[in-house]
Amino acid sequence: MLDISAVETGYGKVKILRGINLHVPAGSIVALLGGNGTGKSTLLKAISGLLPTWAGQITFDGEPITSLPPNRIVQRGLVQVTQGKDSFPAMTVEENLHLGAFSRSDKAGIAEDLDKVYSYFPVLKERRRQLAATLSGGEVQMLVIGRGLMARPKLMMLDEPSAALAPRVVLEIFSIINRISRDDDITILLVEQNVRMALLLAAYGYVIRDGVIHLEGHAKDLIAGDQVRLAYLGGGTVADSGFGLH
């Protein structure tokens, strides 16, 4: 569904991404892993049209999107949930969710999708009249994922959904991401520093370092392999947390 071929980009005259190749098949969960400053968020910005692509090609659902503006990319069904849990704190939960449907005019479909978001995140329904500023960190993360769902995506890119959350909340968020992918057939590109959780959830993974794909493979192989285990998991083994390895 998403094909990235030899992509290069950066900021000013500084090149960050150096010939990135990445493939996300329809219906899958793919993890993009790496530490701070490795190029993960830069790649998402390029895919979303927020950063110009200097070289290479980005294809979504069989069509090139490299030169499209961000709103056209969203309209095609590719949605990014940004890092930092960006909500609009002075607006209510439900107003935030409706913003996700800004490009849609199908009122019945929007109402249906709002109900679906509330089924995934019942706490948001309970607090739909509250200002987003009153939510906890985990609830804001649920809100921004829900807002992304309101765009009715074919593919959703999630940037660091576990950042700054308690382990119990991380497990809940990742379980819901798994349900969204499975029940709604939404393809997921999961950008994470939490390597252990991401590889338990994903079918395939890429490790990026210094703007280059350093390693890739099936998640179960990466999580068992020496390079990922020693570099990111402290050399220990990984217990199944309830997702099951694909």
In a domain, 33, yes or no: yes
143 is a domain residue: yes
| pLDDT at residue number 130 | 96
Apex 49 CA angle, 48 and 50, nearest 5: 95
In a domain, 129, yes or no: yes
Quick one: pLDDT at residue 233? 55
* Interatomic CA distance for residues 120 and 77, integer angstroms: 20
Looking at residue 3, its pLDDT comes to: 97
Residue 55 has pLDDT above 90, yes or no: yes
Q: Convert the pLDDT of each residue in 112-123 to its tens digit.
A: 999 999 999 999
In the chain, the percentage of residues whose pLDDT exceeds 70 is 91
Average pLDDT over residues 231-235: 56
pLDDT at 231 over 70: no
Classify residue 244: in a domain, yes or no: no
Q: Which domain CATH number covers 26?
A: 3.40.50.300
Question: Each residue of 31-42: b (16+ CB within 10 Å) or e?
Answer: bbbbeeebbbbb
In a domain, 241, yes or no: no
Let me know if residue 213 belongs to a domain: yes
Is 242 inside a domain boundary? no
Residue 37's pLDDT band (cuts 50, 70, 90): confident
Select the more confidently predicted residue: 231 or 175.
Answer: 175
Q: Which domain holds residue 101?
A: 2-232
What is the rounded CA–CA span in Å between residue 33 and residue 228? 10
- Record the tokens describing residue 192, joined without a space: 């994470």
- Quick check: is 166 in a domain? yes
pLDDT digits (tens, 9 = 90+) for 159-173: 999 888 888 899 999
Q: What single DSSP character describes residue 50?
A: S
Computed from CA positions of residues 130, 115, 243, 231, in that sequence, does the dihedral angle turn out positive or negative?
A: negative
At residue 242, the pLDDT reads 42
Confidence of residue 243 (pLDDT cuts 50, 70, 90): very low
* Helix%, strand%, coil% for the chain, nearest 5: 40, 25, 35
Question: pTM for the full model?
Answer: 0.88
Residue 228 pLDDT more than 90?
Answer: no
Total domain count, the chain: 1
Instruction: State the pLDDT confidence band at 76, using cuts at 50, 70 and 90.
Output: very high
